[in-house]
Amino acid sequence: MRFGGWLNRLAVAASGLLALAGAGAGTAAQAGSGPADAETRAWWALTTELSTDAMEGRDTGSAGYDRAAAIVAKRFAAAGLKPAGEQGSWFQTIPFEDRRLDEARSRLTIGGRALRFNREVQLSGLELAPTALSAAATFRGYCGKDEIADVRGKLVVCYGRPAPARVKGFDRAKALREAGAAGMLLIAAPGLPGEPIRWPFAYSRSVKPQPGREGEPEPGDKFVIGVLNPDSLSRLTARAAEILRKGRVGADLPHVELGRALGKFRVDLSRTRSANVLGLLPGTDPALAGEAIVIAAHLDGYGRGEPVNGDAIYNGTLDDAAYVALLEQFAAMRGGKGLKRPVLFAVFTGEEKGLWGSRWFVGHPTVPLSGIAAVINLDQVRPLYPLKLMTVHGLKESSLGDLVRQVATARGIAVQEDPEPERDLLRRSDNWPLMEAGVPGASFVFATYDAASRAKYRDWYERRYHHPADDLATPIDWQAAADFNRFFIALTEGAADAPGRIAWAPGARPEAR
């Protein structure tokens, strides 16, 4: 579809949907024991508008995403922002190649035992997937350098998470491809303490920006890659319990031959478009025009996927509709009244598929990257219990962290550096591509501090994260939500009006590491 026609589709979609979604939002926001204050009720109404089933989970490249993007753009316009996308529009379009495994026409057996896609095995990297597989399957422990010397032509199963010290920094997939293996399946066990592995996965799918010819894989590059449910390992080997027990503590693991792997893979390719939504609140101080503050959240979710308890819509209410809604609300509160520095409202697509929206923005900036002073990113925010302690990614990397500490302390919120660096959360959201490009940044997580908060946090990851249950029924601590929202607004205003430019700490800039 031509660019102009696609933009028209977004604009038309907004006109009817705002009234429809807004009416539903009011009902949902008022139902049950909702927020007590007007600001938080308004925020939740906007959240509802973006994460009802009518938005179909806002999957990258979907009609549901386009409807949500059109609503965001119309909200930004009504709030007095200026369009900061392409060709004077609100949108920055990204052409995608979308590859999805057709589970009904595909199969994978190991040792004669069929594995169910998305429940027992999930495939990724589908641009490399062969149409057929016939290979010996072998379990090679952690797949360290000394364990994969003779794997040519084999499907290699590796103990996957957490990666023990012996393979830290070792790219196992790359090494296995170079060794001539037919593929790699990581046993997704046991997960990290704060982030248990969740089954089922929504789908087996790969979404990437459309490559040029130089980006196309060569015919000889075919390689199966995915993850294996540890609960299925007992169907493949009698030594499953031993492997899982020893793997949890990083002990030596046996090597086990698993029989023949036979596969047939049918991958459907479509070419789609999806858009970042970009709006600018101009600054009031001409001397600071080249020091914009980016505030960011991602609009995309998982869309429709593998049903869980009969529900196939992955609404993504807290991840991340609620924080796109917070950007909308902040824009409305400003009403076009600028701060000293410009503020760029960046609503990114493709975050769940590889940070593609923010990566594309960095590669094709609609405002000069040299004119961006900081990025404040909203993702991974879960207001499930009182906000007493906040983990701040980027706390010590720049003077933005000093401002975060100042604003949080004034509100009775303690802050800490990341206590779980093994989760690599700093690099897993849309702040990271900008930080890689030299822009100081920060993002936030509600930290746990007692048994009750830890139980609620773990419950979120076990039952709701990237599942259909991340929906409007999620039990919210409304006071905590209000406390965070006010913290974010004060932080953004403080960064935009700060007397000096935000600066990296010595040696903290990513390219200096």
- What CATH number is given to the structural domain containing 433? 3.40.630.10
**Mean pLDDT, residues 348-353 taken together:** 97
Q: How confident is the model at residue 167 (pLDDT cuts 50, 70, 90)?
A: confident
Residues 308 and 381 occupy one common structural domain: yes
pLDDT tens sequence across 275-310: 999 999 999 999 999 999 999 999 999 999 999 999
Q: 252 burial class (0-12, 13-18, 19+ CB within 10 angstroms)? A: exposed
Percentage of the chain exceeding pLDDT 70 = 90
CB 380 within 8 A of CB 432: no
What confidence score (pLDDT) does residue 13 get? 39
From the CB of residue 130, how many other CB atoms can be counted at a distance below 10 Å? 18
pLDDT at residue 389 tops 60 = yes
Instruction: Kindly report the pTM of this predicted structure.
Output: 0.90
CA distances (Å), origin 286, targets 223, 341, 345, 492? 54, 8, 19, 19
Q: Give the domain-ending residue among 265, 286, 308.
A: 265
Tens digits of residue pLDDT in 305-344: 999 999 999 999 999 999 999 999 999 999 999 999 999 9
Q: Do 401 and 496 share a domain, yes or no? A: yes
Q: CATH number for the domain including 199?
A: 3.50.30.30
Q: Phi and psi of 407, rounded to 5°?
A: -70, -40
Band the pLDDT of 192: cuts 50, 70, 90.
low
Give yes or no: residues 458 and 470 share one domain.
yes
What pLDDT is attached to residue 25? 38
- What is the mean pLDDT of the segment spanning 120-147? 96
Tokens matching residue 226: 């995915």
| Residues 6 or more apart in contact with residue 125 via CB below 8 angstroms | 206, 223, 225, 226
State the residue range of the domain holding 135.
103-265
Residues 376 and 300 in one domain: yes
More confident residue, 213 or 390: 390
42's CB contacts (< 8 A; 6+ apart) are: 329
Same structural domain for residues 336 and 480? yes
Structural domain ending residue among the three candidates 222, 243, 265: 265
Q: Is the peptide bond before 320 cis (omega within 30 degrees of 0)?
A: yes
* Total tally of structural domains belonging to the chain: 2
In this predicted structure, the answer to whether residue 44 has a pLDDT above a threshold of 90 is yes
Read off the pLDDT band of 59 (50, 70, 90): very high
Q: Specify the DSSP class assigned to residue 321.
A: I
Q: State how far the Cα of 40 lies from the Cα of 329, in Å rounded to an integer.
A: 10
Indicate if the pLDDT at residue 240 is higher than 50: yes
